[in-house]
Chain A
Amino acid sequence: MKRTIPLAITAIVGAVLVIAYFIPHPPFDGLREDFSIFFDIMATFAFILGGGNLIKMHGNRISRREEGWFFSLVTIVGFLLVLLVGLTKFGNPDGFRGSSVTASGSYFDHVYEYIFRPCGATMFALLAFYVASASFRAFRARNAEASILLLVAFIILLGRTFVGALLTSWLPDSLRFLTIPYLAEKIMVVLNFAGNRAIMIGIALGIVSTSLKVIIGIDRSYLGSD
């Protein structure tokens, strides 16, 4: 029973959604809409599960004094603090019954504006330093493949800046195909298009085959090992 019911739900919902795509008429179109709403409702409950899981995982790390337990403590305190100011709407100019949890001036807004936002932007800004360091070490012409990668990276990097256009601006119109912006665009639009489309088609075929196995009941790994 523990396995049969989930298998039946998966088979019915999966089959209905596939049929509804090809036959968008009653009753399938209505069912597709209903199933989508069920999914949205369940996704909301996933937040509660996620929160519980976060507390459990980090709580265990703290109680066992595992390496880096202090960071787990910061995570839990941060999570509970934001949850508290969000649920209680502390400092909301319109009070607890006020319109929005993110109302300007509320504590939740302050946490977002003065802690989360600068921290997020800082993390993003650090990327430039690590990209520079990684490029210096990784982009070495060790063999033919690495040399091609290096050349392409070089053209794209230059093509993404004004300098790329400046460097080859002296070339006559008849040699426009040699200018860096032109080459950068062609690499992205022709080679990248073709490669990515091939990968996407491959992934789609893989998804179709895996989905069919799940709907039919051949693949039951999502049910766990019990």
Chain B
Amino acid sequence: MNRFHQIVEFVNDLDKRWVFLVVGLAVVTSTIFRLTFPEIPTPMVRSVYEKVESLPEGSRVILPFDYDPASEPELQPMANAFVRLCAERNLKMYFIALWPLGQNMVAGVIDDILQTEYPHLEYGRDYMDFGYKSGNEGVVAVILTDIKKLYTTDAHGTAIDSIPMMAGVRNIRGFDLILTVSAGYPGLKEWIQYAGTPGNIPVAGGCTAVQAPLLYPYYPDQLVGLMGGIKAAAEFEALVAEAYPKFQEDKDRFLTALVRMGPQTVTHLAIIFFIVLGNITFQILRRKRQQEALKR
């Protein structure tokens, strides 16, 4: 075997630690050099944005946060962007969680965004948190007809009847939008099947990139728009920042998805590089084996 084929063999069977090293370097360098790329919003992301923008002030939006820290790096930017846009539009926000740790995610956006950036918004008047309830799609099915049968208090133990923004609200049929952030089951699909479609309530939302292809079939009839992964979140942030220029001032705070797209783009390129490399070496070795077989 000549030197060239030895190198090809080595690359073809490259130890996975070399791959890890290259991916690690791709992430670290792009983070250090703060690489960002412009994002062109796709129609599905634009639909979500336009739906929220089209709601009149005071519209009721239910925000199910069905994810946990495992998918937080991918989903938190879009959750933040949803909340900021709803706050800017003065929409009434009703947070809810079908995942046990979704409640912590809600608490995070209330602390970090609503109470910090929008101190004029008042809990109970402009936003409220139903908290977590077990029962998955069962919870959705019940609140479609009667919220108070399942929720007598909010996440903080306050009686639902004493919360001003619950006055006149019996169920979620009268809500203007279901805007979910979902990482799996129960999530966006269950909100479409058990609330959106039977209750004729518009549903839009975001999910992890791997989940998105399974949800595309609901678009555009049962799903107003869909945002898959950090890329869609970056596109959404670009739309929000264009309409509300104050968000362009501090990228690290307001445009986190756009910032995170830098390392993701470079890592994607590293993966593409490895796929191309693997195929070149594979084809060279296959041709060599075929030639050797012919000689025999």
Q: B residues within 8 A CB of A144?
A: none
Determine, out of B54-62, B83-91, B135-143, B161-169, the stretch whose residues face the partner at the interface.
B135-143
- Tell me if A60 counts as interface (CB < 8 A to partner B): no
Q: When chains A and B are docked, how far (Å) is the Cα of A22 from the Cα of B23? A: 54
Q: B residues within 8 A CB of A100?
A: 155-157
Which residues of A, 102-151, contact B by the 8 Å Cβ criterion? 102, 104, 112, 116-117, 119-121, 123-125, 128-129, 131-133, 135-137, 139-142, 150
- Tell me if A219 counts as interface (CB < 8 A to partner B): no
Q: Mark A141-169, 1 if CB is under 8 A from B, else 0.
A: 11000000010011001101111010000
Contact A37 B271 (CB under 8 A): no
Contact B70 A123 (CB under 8 A): yes
Q: Which residue of the partner chain, among A47, A135, A141, A185, contacts B282 with CB atoms under 8 Å? A: A141
Contact A196 B216 (CB under 8 A): yes
- Tell me if B279 counts as interface (CB < 8 A to partner A): yes
Q: In the complex, what residue of chain B is closest to A125 when comparing beta carbons?
A: B73
**Nearest CB of chain B from residue A173's CB, rounded to whole Å:** 16
Q: A residues within 8 A CB of B209?
A: 160
By DSSP majority rule, is chain A's interface helix, strand, loop, or mixed? helix
Q: A residues within 8 A CB of B213?
A: 188, 192, 196
- Tell me if A66 counts as interface (CB < 8 A to partner B): no
**Nearest CB of chain A from residue B118's CB, rounded to whole Å:** 18
- Tell me if B24 counts as interface (CB < 8 A to partner A): yes
Known: A116-B69, A121-B70. 4 other contacts (CB 8 A): A37-B138, A104-B107, A112-B69, A132-B271
Closest 6 CB pairs of A and B: A40-B135, A120-B69, A162-B37, A136-B274, A120-B70, A39-B138
A residues with a Cβ closer than 8 A to B are: 29, 32-33, 36-37, 39-40, 43-44, 46-47, 99-100, 102, 104, 112, 116-117, 119-121, 123-125, 128-129, 131-133, 135-137, 139-142, 150, 153-154, 157-158, 160-163, 165, 181, 185, 188-189, 192-193, 196-197, 200
14 sample A-B contacts, Cβ–Cβ < 8 Å, listed by A number: A33-B145, A33-B146, A40-B133, A43-B134, A100-B156, A116-B69, A120-B68, A124-B70, A129-B23, A132-B270, A135-B275, A136-B275, A154-B275, A157-B275
B residues with a Cβ closer than 8 A to A are: 14, 16, 19-20, 22-24, 27, 37-40, 42, 68-74, 101, 103-104, 107, 111, 133-136, 138-139, 141-142, 145-146, 149-150, 155-157, 209, 213-214, 216-217, 231, 261, 264-265, 267-272, 274-275, 277-279, 282-283
